[in-house]
Amino acid sequence: MSTLEPKSGGRNLLVDEVYAAIKDAIQTMTLAPGVALVESRLAAQLNVSKTPIREALGRLAQEGLTEAAAFRGYRVTKFTGADVRSIMELRSVLEGLAARRACKAMPEEALELLARTTSLAEQERERENWSSVSILVHQVHNLIHENCGDARLTTMIGVLDGQFERARFAMPVTSFRLVKSVQEHSLLSLAIQTRNGHLAESIMRDHLVALIDKIDLDAALRQTDIKRTSLAEIARNRPLSKSGQTGVC
C-alpha cells in the first residue's frame, strides 16, 4: 500500500488513517514541536485531498497535539519539561481517582486479567525483558482506566496519555526504574484486588509523580534522536490500533 486510500469504510476510514498517521508522527516527534502543519504539503505526502487533512488536524487540536497558528492553519503543539510535569501531575490526580473507583467498579474477570498482567510483568522482569515489561505495566494502567466505571474519566485520561506519548518516546528508561515500576504496579494490583480504594489511589499518585521527580525533562526532550520518517512511511507501516506502547507509564 503506497498511498492512503479509502477502503470499505469509505471517507470516514480515510480520515481515521490520516489522523492516525499525523498523530503518530507527532507522538514520535517525526513532526517536531512547533512545526507548521501545511495542509497542502501534508496532503501531497499522504496522497489525499486537503479535506481529510483539515479534519484530522482539527481532531488533534481537540486532543492538545496541534494548535491554531495565526494566518497559518495549524502547528504541532510545543512541548517542554513544564508541559510534561503538568501532564503527569494531572494524570496522577485523575488516574489516582480511576484506581480508587476501579476498586468498586472492576468486575471479577477484569480483576483476574489485572492479576495475570502484573504476574507476567514480574516474570518478564526476572528475564530482564524490558520491552515486554514496559508494555505490560502500561496495560495495567489501561485496565484500570477502562474499568473505573466512568467513561468521562476514561476519556480525559486518554487525552492526557496521548499528550504524554512524546515524553514517553523521549525520556530515558533504566532497568532500575522498570524494576521499581513492576513493584509499584504489583502493589497497585493487590490494592485493587482487595478493594482498598484509598491505598490504590495513593500508590497510583506516588508512582506517576516519582517518574518525573529526578529527571531533567527539558534535557531529555532536547536530546531526543528524531527519526525523520515520512508520513507516508508511517501510514504504510503502523496499524491504526497499536498493540502496545513502550517506555515509562
CATH of the domain at 98: 1.20.120.530
| pLDDT given for residue 59 in this prediction | 94
| pLDDT given for residue 217 in this prediction | 63
pLDDT reading at 184 higher than 70:
yes
> pTM higher than 0.85 for the full model?
no
Domain count, the chain: 2
Q: Does residue 101 belong to any structural domain of this protein?
A: yes
- Alpha-carbon distances, residue 180 vs 94, 122, 154, 237 (angstroms): 22, 11, 25, 33
In angstroms, the first-to-last Cα distance of the chain is 33
Q: Does residue 5 belong to any structural domain of this protein?
A: no
| pLDDT given for residue 191 in this prediction | 98
| pLDDT given for residue 220 in this prediction | 62
Together in a domain, 110 and 176? yes
Q: Does residue 228 belong to any structural domain of this protein?
A: no
- Alpha-carbon distances, residue 14 vs 9, 42, 46, 67 (angstroms): 8, 14, 11, 22
Domain encompassing residue 162: 81-221
Cell numbers 483476574 correspond to: 112
| pLDDT given for residue 240 in this prediction | 37
Spatial CB neighbours of 34, under 8 Å, sequence gap ≥ 6: 75, 76, 78
Chosen domain end from 63, 78, 93: 78
| pLDDT given for residue 214 in this prediction | 60
Query: Residue 24: which of 245, 248, 217 has the closest Cα?
Result: 245
When mean pLDDT is compared across 64-73, 107-116, 181-190, the lowest value belongs to 64-73
Together in a domain, 27 and 52? yes
Together in a domain, 25 and 144? no
With cut-offs at 50, 70 and 90, classify the pLDDT of residue 143: very high
Which range of 23-27, 107-111, 218-222 scores highest in mean pLDDT? It is 107-111
CB 41 within 8 A of CB 72: no
Q: Does residue 34 belong to any structural domain of this protein?
A: yes
Together in a domain, 193 and 126? yes
Q: Write the single-letter amino acid at 94.
A: L
Q: Does residue 29 belong to any structural domain of this protein?
A: yes
Together in a domain, 104 and 194? yes
Q: Does residue 178 belong to any structural domain of this protein?
A: yes
User: If you average pLDDT over residues 184-193, what whole number do you get?
Assistant: 97
